[in-house]
């Protein structure tokens, strides 16, 4: 049952991330706003989920499945590498600082709000 919950959550998380990313890519070609917002939102929701302690099945479905597929660590890394390859060092550093600092703050904020 646990594997099925992760699969279902992952299916929907991946579809949501793809749709949001595509929407932003068509509007902001020079900076990966879609990935940044998805990761921030996912960080907040994951913090909120684990702070509210909804039970193991919900953690598997939403936390591991949905959020695991919705947020994207590897895309963040690849987009940063692309900026570096294109000589956009300042944008790459800015993107990493925004991603990590605010991601941690959003996760903590979600956790605090759920308590």
Q: What is the pLDDT of residues 18-60, one digit of tens each?
A: 999 889 888 887 789 989 999 999 999 999 999 998 999 999 9
CA distance 28 to 115: 36
Q: How confident is the model at residue 9 (pLDDT cuts 50, 70, 90)?
A: very high
Name the residue among 40, 22, 47 with its Cα closest to residue 98. Answer: 40
Q: What is the pLDDT of residues 102-115, one digit of tens each?
A: 999 999 999 999 98
Mean pLDDT of the region 78-107: 96
> What mean pLDDT, rounded, does the chain reach?
93
Mean pLDDT of the region 78-98: 96
CA distance 37 to 56: 27
As a dihedral over the C-alpha atoms of residue 45, residue 48, residue 49, residue 54, rounded to 10 degrees, the angle is: -150
In the numeric block, which tokens belong to residue 110? 């979600």
Tell me how long the chain is.
Answer: 115
Instruction: Look at residue 3 and give its three-state secondary structure.
Output: helix
Residue 28 · residue 79 · CB < 8 Å: no
Residue 35 annotated as part of some ligand binding site: no
pTM of the entire structure? 0.86
Residue 64 annotated as part of some ligand binding site: no
């Amino acid at each position: 049952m646990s594997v099925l919950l992760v699969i279902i959550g992952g299916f929907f998380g991946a579809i949501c991330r793809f749709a949001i990313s595509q929407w932003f890519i068509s509007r902001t070609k020079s900076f990966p706003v879609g990935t940044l917002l998805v990761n921030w939102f996912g960080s907040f929701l994951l913090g909120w989920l684990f702070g509210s302690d909804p039970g193991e099945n919900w953690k598997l479905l939403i936390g591991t499945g949905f959020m695991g597929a919705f947020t994207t660590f590897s895309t963040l890394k690849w987009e940063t590498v692309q900026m570096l390859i294109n000589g956009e060092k300042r944008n790459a550093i800015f993107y990493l600082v925004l991603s990590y600092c605010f991601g941690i703050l959003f996760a903590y904020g979600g956790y605090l709000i759920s308590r």
